[in-house]
C-alpha cells in the first residue's frame, strides 16, 4: 500500500504574506505572552513580499490549509539563520514543527551551509535541542528590555538525511 501524505511543504506565495504574519503572532501568543508583548513583536514578525523574495520561505500545508512555515536567512558563506518557524497553535505538538525543521536542515545542506543559527523563544528551546540543536549562548531582545533568548545552532555537516 502506498503511503500518501496529506501534507506537503512548498514555497510561500506572495498572496500569503499577511496570513503568515498573523500565524506567527498567533503562534507566539500560544506561550501565554501578553497582548502588549505580542504587539511589541509585530514588527519583527512581519512577513512581506520583499522578505519572501530575499529569504527562502516555506509553508507546510495539510489538506490545503497552512499549518506552519519557516524561513532561512543568509548570514555568511557557512551559516544560515532560521528566520521563522511557527505552527498554528491548534497544531502544536503534532509533529509539524519537526517536519519543518527537517526540511530546513535539508534545504540548508542543499544550499551549501554548514550551520543553522536559531534565536529561539525560551519556550521552544527544548524543541530545538530535541531536533539536533546545541545551545551556544543567549542574546538580548532588541526591542524588549530585560529579556534574553536562547541562541542555538544545528551543525549540518553532522546530519545524515
What pLDDT does residue 161 have?
46
Which triple of cell numbers denotes residue 152? 542555538
Does a structural domain hold residue 129?
A: yes
Does a structural domain hold residue 1?
A: no
Confidence class for position 40, pLDDT limits 50, 70, 90: confident
Which triple of cell numbers denotes residue 68? 506552519
Whether residue 1 is predicted with pLDDT greater than 50 in this model: the reply is no
89 near 26, Cβ under 8 Å?
Answer: yes
Q: Which CATH number is 126's domain given? A: 3.40.630.30
DSSP H or E run through 69: strand 65-74
Closest CA to 72 of 52, 91, 97, 55: 55
Instruction: Enumerate the β-bridge partners of residue 93.
Output: none
Does a structural domain hold residue 92?
A: yes
pLDDT digits (tens, 9 = 90+) for 81-97: 999 999 999 999 999 99
Instruction: Enumerate the β-bridge partners of residue 85.
Output: 70
Number of folded domains that form the chain: 1
Q: Domain of residue 44: give its range.
A: 7-158
Does a structural domain hold residue 151?
A: yes
N-term to C-term CA, the chain: 24
**Model-level pTM?**
0.90
- The rounded distance, in Å, linking the Cα atoms of 118 and 125 is 9
Could you give the 3-state DSSP secondary structure of residue 72?
strand
Q: Mark out the alpha helices in the chain (DSSP H runs).
A: 17-29, 35-41, 49-54, 96-110, 125-130
Does a structural domain hold residue 2?
A: no
pLDDT digits (tens, 9 = 90+) for 100-132: 999 999 999 999 999 999 999 999 999 999 999
Amino acid at each position: 500500500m502506498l503511503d500518501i501524505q496529506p501534507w506537503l511543504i512548498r514555497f510561500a506565495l506572495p498572496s500569503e504574506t499577511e496570513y503568515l504574519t498573523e500565524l506567527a503572532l498567533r503562534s507566539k501568543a500560544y506561550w501565554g505572552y501578553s497582548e502588549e508583548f505580542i504587539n511589541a513583536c509585530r514588527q519583527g514578525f512581519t512577513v512581506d513580499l520583499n522578505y519572501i523574495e530575499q529569504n527562502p520561505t516555506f509553508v507546510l500545508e495539510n489538506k490545503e490549509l497552512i499549518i506552519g512555515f519557516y524561513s532561512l536567512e543568509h548570514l555568511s558563506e557557512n551559516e544560515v539563520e532560521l528566520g521563522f518557524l511557527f505552527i498554528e497553535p491548534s497544531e502544536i505538538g503534532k509533529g509539524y514543527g519537526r517536519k519543518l525543521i527537517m526540511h530546513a536542515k535539508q534545504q540548508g545542506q542543499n544550499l551549501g551551509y554548514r550551520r543553522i543559527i536559531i534565536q529561539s523563544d525560551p519556550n521552544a528551546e527544548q524543541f530545538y535541542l530535541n531536533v539536533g540543536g546545541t545551545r551556544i549562548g543567549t542574546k538580548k531582545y532588541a526591542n524588549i528590555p530585560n529579556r534574553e533568548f536562547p541562541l542555538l545552532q544545528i551543525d549540518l555537516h553532522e546530519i545524515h538525511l
